[in-house]
Homo-oligomer: A and B are copies of this chain.
Amino acid sequence: MAILFSSILAGTILIVYLTLNVLDKSPGNEKTEKISRIIQRGAKSFLFQEYTIFFPIVFLLSLLFGFSSGWVNAISFIIGSSFSVLAGFFGMLIATKSNARTAWGATKGIGEALDIAFSGGAVMGLIVSVLGLAGLGIVYLLFGLQAVSYYSLGASFVALFARVGGGIYTKAADVGADIVGKVESNLPEDDPRNPAVIADNVGDNVGDVAGMGADLYESYVGSIFSAISLGYALFGASGITSTLYIISFGLISSILAIILVKVLSRLNTEPALALRSGTIASSVIFLAFSLSYAIMDKNMNLFWTVLVGNIVGVSIGLITEWYTSGKKVEKLAHSAAMGPANVIISGTALGMESTAVITILIAVGTLISHKLGGLYGIAMAGVGMLATLAMNLSVDAYGPIADNAGGVAQMAGLEKGVRDITDKLDALGNTTAAMGKGFAIGSAALTAIALFANFGSIAHIQQIQLQDPKMFIGALIGAMLTFFFSALAMNAVGDAANDMVEEIRRQIREMPGILAGATEPDYGSCIKIATKGALKRMVLPSVLAIASPIILMLGLGVQSVAGLLIGSTVTGVALAIFMANSGGAWDNAKKYVEEGHLGGKGSFAHKATVVGDTVGDPYKDTAGPALNILIKLMAITSIVFYSIVGRWIQ
Contact = CB atoms under 8 A, between A and B. Distances in A.
A570 interface: yes
Q: How many copies make up the complex? A: 2
Nearest to A462: B466
B566 A359 contact: no
Contacts of A569: 472, 475-476
A363 B473 contact: yes
A469 interface: yes
Q: Is the interface of A mostly helix, strand, loop or mixed?
A: helix
Contact of A341 (B346, B487, B556, B615): B615
Contact of A494 (B349, B470, B497): B349
Contacts of A472: 366, 449, 452, 566, 569-570
Nearest to A342: B494
B566 A375 contact: no
A488 B353 CA distance: 7
A81 interface: no
A350 interface: yes
B352 A494 contact: no
Nearest to A364: B473
Interface string A559-595: 0001000110111011100100000000000000000
A469 B340 CA distance: 42
Nearest to A178: B341
A45 interface: no
Contacts of A341: 175, 340, 610-611, 614-615
Contact of A578 (B335, B483, B493, B570): B483
Interface in A362-384: 362-363, 366-367, 370, 374-375, 378
Interface string A331-371: 00001001111101110111111011001101100110010
Contact of A359 (B339, B480, B486): B480
Interface in A443-490: 445, 449, 452-453, 456-457, 461-467, 469-473, 475-480, 482-484, 486-488, 490
A490 B335 contact: no
A478 B570 contact: yes
Interface residues of A, number: 83
B498 A350 contact: no
Contacts of A494: 335, 342, 345-346, 349
Interface string A490-531: 110110011001000000000000000000000000000000
Contacts of A611: 339-341, 344, 611
B483 A466 contact: no
A142 interface: no
A569 B476 CA distance: 8
A549 interface: no
Interface in A102-137: none
Given A353-B491, A356-B484, A611-B344, A362 B464 contact: no
A169 to B, nearest CB: 16
Contact of A570 (B363, B445, B479): B479
Contacts of A469: 366-367, 370, 375, 378, 449, 453
A168 to B, nearest CB: 13
Contacts of A471: 464
Given A490-B349, A491-B349, A494-B346, A566 B467 contact: no
Interface string A300-339: 0000000000000000000000000000000000010011
A349 B478 contact: no
B462 A570 contact: no
A88 interface: no
Contacts of A338: 179, 498, 501
B483 A352 contact: yes
Interface centre among A335, A462, A479 (most CB of B within 10 A): A479
Given A348-B490, A456-B466, 11 more contacts: A340-B340, A349-B488, A349-B494, A352-B490, A353-B483, A355-B484, A367-B556, A456-B467, A463-B466, A479-B573, A480-B573
19 contacts: A342-B614, A344-B344, A345-B490, A353-B484, A353-B487, A356-B483, A359-B479, A360-B477, A367-B556, A374-B467, A449-B469, A462-B467, A472-B566, A472-B569, A476-B569, A480-B570, A480-B574, A571-B574, A611-B611
Interface of A: 175, 179, 183, 335, 338-342, 344-346, 348-353, 355-356, 359-360, 362-363, 366-367, 370, 374-375, 378, 445, 449, 452-453, 456-457, 461-467, 469-473, 475-480, 482-484, 486-488, 490-491, 493-494, 497-498, 501, 556, 562, 566-567, 569-571, 573-575, 578, 610-611, 614-615, 618
